[in-house]
Structures are given as C-alpha cells and as structure tokens.
Structure 1
C-alpha cells in the first residue's frame, strides 16, 4: 500500500512539472499592468469659485449682557385669590432690553413607589436540574424541579442562603439555594 502512495505522489509531481512548462520554462514578465490615460477635466462654465466674506466685528465688544433681578410673587391666598406658591419672576433692570420671560416653575411632589409598584426581582436558574423545596433547607421535601435558564421571581431573601421564589412559567412557589440562581439583568 505504501508503494502505491509513493508512486501516486511521484506521478503528481511529474505532471505538475510538465504542466508548468517543464525544461522549456523561462521566467518572464507575464504580469499584465494596464493604466488608463487620465482625461483632463475641463472646468464647467457654470461653476464659479465660492466667495467668502468676513463680517464686520468692530462693534461686538460694546454689547454687554443685561442682568435680571428676580422678584418673588406675593402670596395672595389671604386676599381670597388662587393659592400660588412663591414663584420667582424675572424683572428687567435695563429698560431698553426686555429679556424673554421663562415659563413658571412649579414644584411637583413626587410620590414614592409603594411595595406593589416596585419591579419584581427576576433571576435565572443557574443549574442543570435544581430542586425546589417546601422550605429553606435540604430537610424539606422536593416540591418541583427547575432547569437551567428558567426564570424565577424572588419573593423573599432572608440572607441565610435560601430564597423563597416563584417560577414564572408555572407559578409554583418554593425555596431554592441562593447560589443556584443568577440575576436576570
């Protein structure tokens, strides 16, 4: 078998030698280089050079910004009017230049989100097949199994290494070791 391989490679080497020119091969300049002659570009008669003019900046240093004085609006709730908070109003010092009035800013009290409005703590199972138990420990019975990348919602984390959680796909609740889940974000 080895003799047939050697003979096959020898025949391929001879065939390559003959096909590439054999003993009559003479290296030469066989590369083809073609350059196109550039055509002269004639400027169009319609195109005109762009003209740039400079602005007269001699009087710009004489302009000074006008300053504004902030005056509070008096509280008119005692006079029977609408209840208005002290909102600053801009008054112009320079009678010639009237600044643009800015919209009134009214403080809005933000509501703190309640516990029901907070986003759920979603995590992924980080084990191939993980037991979900009836309580926080291996002494409790196995009530279900979850697989890798199943999403769970953490309901309670006491910091003791066990999480009370709910499987988002099935809705089953149980306990699982905290090291077997990873954060969803």
Structure 2
C-alpha cells in the first residue's frame, strides 16, 4: 500500500489506483483559488493550528458537487464547520463545510438540494452551495477527507485523480484539473 506524506492511501496496484481515483469529481464548479492548505497553518485569527482539509474559494452560492458516490453520514450545524455534510464512500468520509442554506431537523437544504442522513448521493451530484457559515472570513468550501478515521490531504487526492485520468486508455483528452495549489490571503 502506498502512503503519501499525509497518509493518502492509494493502492498496492497502480492500475487499480488510477481507475479508482479517476472516478472522483472536483467539488466546486466555480473555482477561484485554494486559500488554505492541509496541515499546520496560521488560522484566520492568528493562531497556529491544524487544518484538516483544503479551502477552495468560490463565489457565494457556487454549486458544490459530490466527490464520490456514497451516502449522507451526517448533517452538520456548528460554530466551526457551519452548515456541512459528511458523505461516506466505503472507508472514506468526505466533509464539506461552510455551506449556504439551512439545517432543520437533521435535513440540509439549499435551493433544490434536500439531503438527510442515510440518503444516497451520486458522484457529481449537486449537494450544496458555497457559503460563509461557521468560522470563516470569506466564501469558500472547506473540503476534508478521512480514511478509517485518519485525515488525508485532499490535494494529494486531486493529484491522484488527475494522474489516473491522464493515463486512462482511450481518452482523447484528459479533463482539466484545477490550477496548481496557490494560497491567497482570502479566508
């Protein structure tokens, strides 16, 4: 098994890893910039802290797509993540925070989106919209990933996804991956 610097678990077979990761969908349709990386960072209020995800800036209300098929494990409404979702895909959990919309009675809603715990979601399905709920200073999606309870670096997952697509036989052109990681001062 391959383990990257942040513990990204791929597969012992390169072919299996490529076919597995190329299925993913970049979660934000209106990408502006990566504004905060995975790992230790200086947070919005000046403290050094762990950051268990990748912050992806996008215009307020931009559609958010589900990375991989699975089911809604949890609907979040708290002071840190704000409004959010945890989607379980096998041993993986992908976390989406700072969404716009509402949470009521364990159900998340935003525009035509209505999701509740246990509900199945498809790869690429619209699951929410970029907002500013929770602890944030600007509109973005905080996208986190866990495997077996261990936090992974989403940027490594995106790199593996892009590499798998580049090497997929029979494709005339590979889908464009987002630009290389760049960190902006927007939070």
Query: Of the two structures, which has the highest relative contact order with CA contacts closer than 8 Å and spacing of 6 or more?
Result: 2
Structure with higher strand content: 2
TM-score of Structure 1 vs Structure 2, range by shorter chain = under 0.3
TM-score with structure 1 setting the length: 0.13
TM-score with structure 2 setting the length: 0.13
